[in-house]
Structure 1
């Protein structure tokens, strides 16, 4: 499992659990763009009933990750690379703003967690595989989102982050920017730990811009 927020995996709601597990399959392209959504197959695979699966799919439809075609069924939405620029335009502003807020608002415990994430990065990045680094990238972004202490902003950040992850998985086997991303993550975590709003914003804005440029380079 690559894309489920660790804080969400212990949820007590079956519909919530179904939502995150199905969303994970869509983001990581295990449910391929344009493929049919098979309710019965999901029920069997996830060991969940029809009601939570349907509730999850309705939520995913609202987020435009699945779509209903009258008299044809439900399908995973296609990825339109033309959306890349629009997604990046939004993310560079809101991710940068969130980083600034996070560096200024993080609690002592959250700054300590940034330090622990930084220590992990220093210890593991040279030997970690692509999957592990992808998972860690998501942990860092979501830590920033939480440290912003603005739940409305965090919800918007998650929506656009998910759209970006689908694009990233589309080109994952061709990207070469992981080492640069590690450096950016290190600087971002240090800025949050040390309470440097300007530095945190600058690093995360550069990180999002680099993400867009890397995808354009390999497509």
Structure 2
């Protein structure tokens, strides 16, 4: 493996780990980012950590202020409406494309995810895996990248009030019909169901967030 590949893999590892800390609020909004502490925590060097932080700044999860340092971006629940507008436009199209373009292996993966629904466990983890699998099955790299970024932005807002979302399980279970239509190649139905899911989930989160 070349040195470039090793560096890239380390940067990817740092990116995923730091993003996870931010999304889970373990690194809370507006917290100072301590590069050295992250290097020690992740057992990685300065270069991959800095590359990861640059990527996260591009995705609006980190803010850089000259002579002041780096901070976790603040959270404004009012952003949820703007994020949802993007997701409502792109998620249905991703579902439609996935129904048309998914490989046999991807359809098997989507069917397996559908079987997990209703089994309890980490609901938001399952929600994320479902959405990312659909994005990938759409076979549009630009759409996949955009939707992944907006999903993360939305997820960080949801995490603020996740413990108060009483109808979260019902919202996640709506994926079952979405996945079924994709697996069976019904693109138009998949788009309609995905749009309804995104709208219903956003409304469920909004009801909780107004009380936070």
* Same-fold call, TM cutoff 0.5: yes
Equivalent in 70, 87, 93 of residue 66 of structure 2? 70
Task: Please give the residue correspondences for 1:20-99 in structure 2 after superposition, counting only pairs within 5 Å.
Answer: 20-99=16-95
CA RMSD, 1 decimal: 1.4
Is residue 192 of structure 2 the alignment partner of residue 191 of structure 1?
no
State the partner residue of 2:3.
Answer: none
Structure-1 separation of matches of 2:61 and 2:45: 21
Instruction: State the match for 2:15 in structure 1.
Output: 19
Write out aligned runs for 1:1-219 (5 A). Answer: 13-121=9-117, 125-126=118-119, 128-129=120-121, 132-219=122-209
Q: Which runs of 4+ in 1 moved over 6 A?
A: none
Aligned residue for 2:14, secondary structure, equals helix
User: In the aligned structure 2, how far is the partner of 1:202 from the partner of 1:95?
Assistant: 10
- Any unmatched runs of 5+ in structure 1? 1-10
Is 2:23–2:155's contact at 8 Å kept on the other side of the alignment?
Answer: yes
Aligned length: 203
**Could you list the runs of 5+ residues in structure 2 that have no partner in the other structure?**
1-6
The normalised TM-score by structure 1 is 0.88
- Give the superposition deviation at 1:182: 3.2
1:59 offset after TM fit, Å?
1.3
Q: CA deviation at 1:12?
A: 6.3
- Offset, 1:190: 0.6
**CA deviation string 1:112-158 (max 9, x = no partner):** 2122112222xxx24x23xx111111110011001101111111111
Partners of 2:201 and 2:158 in 1: CA distance: 8
